[in-house]
Structure 1
Amino acid sequence: MSLLIAWITKYYYRLLLCLFGCLIFLLLDSFLGLMPTFAAEKIVVRYGLFEQSLPIADIRKYGETKEVSGDLQSFLSYLNAKEQQQLQDALQVKMSLDIAALNKLTDTTIGKQILSVVSQAVARRDQAGVQALRSAIILGAKSQEGLGIISFLEAYPSNRLVIDLPKATKLVSMANLSSSSSDTSPKDNLSSSPIWQIALQYQILATQGKQYLGCLYGDSISAELGNSLGEGTFNFGLNGLSTISLVEQLQRLIPAKVKCQKAIIAVGGNDALYGMSDDLFSKKLQEAIALVRTMGTKEIFLIPAFYSTVAASLDPTVAAPLPKVEQINALINQVAAKEQIPVAAEGIAPLYENNVLKDNLTSDGDHLNAEGIKIYRQALLEILGKQ
């Protein structure tokens, strides 16, 4: 039984992140008048007859102060130091979302499909699973801190949020924005991902006809920042993005008539991971630059592809080999010279030592932790002239 508990508890952590990833773009209009007014006090993982519960108040306290209760300590004991840090980082994610834009997702087929799938993993005695998720998401997003794991859990309209573990495994594939099998090389097939499609649909609805002082286009490292670059900016970062999907993203955004005075393009890491050829990468980056210019952009800045740690670079399931990232960055410099636009490398230089990501600025060897994000955000603010 102890092995079963260990396995379920570790999966519980992964599921928490997966559930949040699936829900973050699904702020749907709710029928609050039909729902109970009480909120969840515990999150419960159910596997057959076995249940493991954790007070949500303990999760909030841990996220805010790192204070560990007795119940939480039992849970954390099954996680190593790296996984505990990843959980702590995930609890810090709080998204400020455009309520009006996200409400319109109620009319999209993909939004309804994803919410329906997510609701199947939440065990309830009634048939109000979708409705309950709607209530939790809209109330969580309207909270002062924005939508995050904790605000969602606290807003769920039941005293317990019960996750059916076997059904929840169906969500894992949905959370992967760039899918690849073990016997094939990673590739950019984001456009076929339901999560990518709904994330992009949200961006279109949120920015349609608007003008921004600054726009950020990038992959998961940029997406980590959320919309935290200040008033008049928008973060179009998407997990798994390469120059291929960036071109697709821009082609979808242009008909929405969004305008950006300054644009920052931060891609290349996934291009290196996908093993993209030099010619294709250069071609797609130039296409992206041309598309951005049609959006009324006066200034464009390129950010070099992000390096990982040495250990991460040796694992093809985590990050690209460092020599390939070097190669991509050389191509970025070549395209920048041809297009007569700057490469803003100085601001992110503190992230690295000899072109290797510093261990103290990452939680997984590839993405930035809170301190790393702070450095990256500062660099972007300087480019945008906000510092």
Structure 2
Amino acid sequence: MHSNISSIRRCLIFTMATCVFLSATPAFAAEKVVLKYRVFRESLSVKELTDFTDNDKLSIPLRVGLKLAQQDPNKVRRYLTEPVKVNSIILGRVLNSPVGNVVLDQISEVIHTPSRKADRQAMRSALVLSASQDNDIKLIEVIKNYPSTEVEVDGDRLEKAYNQLRRLQGSLQNILGF
């Protein structure tokens, strides 16, 4: 029992230190998003994607790409912007567990580095940083906070990543008892 409490305490201290460190240092964050659908692969700036999610402003490449992929821009925007409420401290603890590694691997199938190296670590960092700002996660925040200058997003599976975050939210609520 004592070792469990010690272990939990160490994990919480590590998570809090990580959050403080991430919020106190200049972000090394994504600048470019490679949005991939079956029929196209389009390189966009994070600003273009943010203009779409925040202001409903579709750049010409994004408009053409979504049309070619037969994607409803409203659905894509919803998956990118719908908040998933989480407790950032508990999130950090869960993401540093074997179960968390599975979740990270699943979301990293959709949002990942171009090289596919260190995806788990990059996703953990992006999720914790996103949650530490306001205790919720949006996929657009995850993309913006991704610790790589370029991030690839599998648009065909964007809904899967969103649904995985919703399942994670449910798991965190169960842990907290509400």
Same structural fold, with TM-score higher than 0.5 when normalized by the shorter chain: yes
Which structure has more relative contact order (CA 8 Å, sep 6+)? It is 2
1:204 aligns with 174
Aligned mates of 1:41, 1:136 — CA distance in 2: 14
Q: Compute the displacement of 1:150 (Å).
A: 1.5
**1:37 and 2:21 correspond:** no
Q: Compute the displacement of 1:96 (Å).
A: 3.5
**1:67 and 2:37 correspond:** no
| Structure 2 unmatched ranges of 5 or more | 1-14
How far does the alpha carbon of each residue in 1:52-92 deviate from its partner, in whole angstroms, 9 at most, with x for none?
21222112112222122223222233255x81221233343
Q: Structure 1 or 2: larger helix share?
A: 2
1:111 aligns with 100
CA contact (8 A) 2:34 2:150 kept: yes
Shift in CA distance, 149/126, structure 1 to aligned 2, threshold 3 Å: closer
Q: Tell me which amino acid in the other structure corresponds to 1:129.
A: D
SS of residue matched to 1:54:
strand
Q: Tell me which amino acid in the other structure corresponds to 1:161.
A: V
SS of residue matched to 1:162:
strand
Q: Tell me which amino acid in the other structure corresponds to 2:44.
A: L
CA contact (8 A) 1:123 1:164 kept: no
**1:96 and 2:85 correspond:** yes
Q: Tell me which amino acid in the other structure corresponds to 1:83.
A: D
The counterpart of 1:161, out of the listed 151, 162, 165, is 151
Shift in CA distance, 120/78, structure 1 to aligned 2, threshold 3 Å: closer
How far does the alpha carbon of each residue in 1:300-339 deviate from its partner, in whole angstroms, 9 at most, with x for none?
xxxxxxxxxxxxxxxxxxxxxxxxxxxxxxxxxxxxxxxx
Aligned mates of 2:154, 2:56 — CA distance in 1: 28
**TM-score in terms of structure 2 length:** 0.65
Q: Tell me which amino acid in the other structure corresponds to 1:103.
A: G
CA contact (8 A) 2:95 2:124 kept: no
SS of residue matched to 2:152:
strand
CA contact (8 A) 1:143 1:151 kept: no
CA contact (8 A) 2:80 2:138 kept: yes
Q: Tell me which amino acid in the other structure corresponds to 2:103.
A: I
Aligned length: 156
**1:139 and 2:129 correspond:** yes
Alignment RMSD: 3.9
CA contact (8 A) 1:135 1:156 kept: yes
Q: Tell me which amino acid in the other structure corresponds to 2:129.
A: L
1:52 aligns with 42
CA contact (8 A) 1:40 1:159 kept: yes
Looking at CA atoms only, which structure, 1 or 2, has the larger radius of gyration?
1
Q: Tell me which amino acid in the other structure corresponds to 1:65.
A: N
How far does the alpha carbon of each residue in 1:225-260 deviate from its partner, in whole angstroms, 9 at most, with x for none?
xxxxxxxxxxxxxxxxxxxxxxxxxxxxxxxxx5xx
CA contact (8 A) 1:36 1:158 kept: no
**TM-score in terms of structure 1 length:** 0.33
CA contact (8 A) 1:119 1:130 kept: yes
* Percent identical residues: 23
Q: Compute the displacement of 1:51 (Å).
A: 4.2
Aligned mates of 1:163, 1:85 — CA distance in 2: 17
SS of residue matched to 2:85:
coil
| Structure 1 unmatched ranges of 5 or more | 1-28, 178-194, 209-257, 259-387
Structural mapping, 1:223-238, within 5 Å? none
SS of residue matched to 1:77:
helix
Shift in CA distance, 76/176, structure 1 to aligned 2, threshold 3 Å: closer
Aligned mates of 2:118, 2:26 — CA distance in 1: 11
CA contact (8 A) 1:36 1:157 kept: no
**1:150 and 2:120 correspond:** no
Q: Structure 1 residues 93-102 or 133-142, which shifts more?
A: 93-102
CA contact (8 A) 2:32 2:149 kept: yes
Aligned mates of 1:87, 1:46 — CA distance in 2: 13
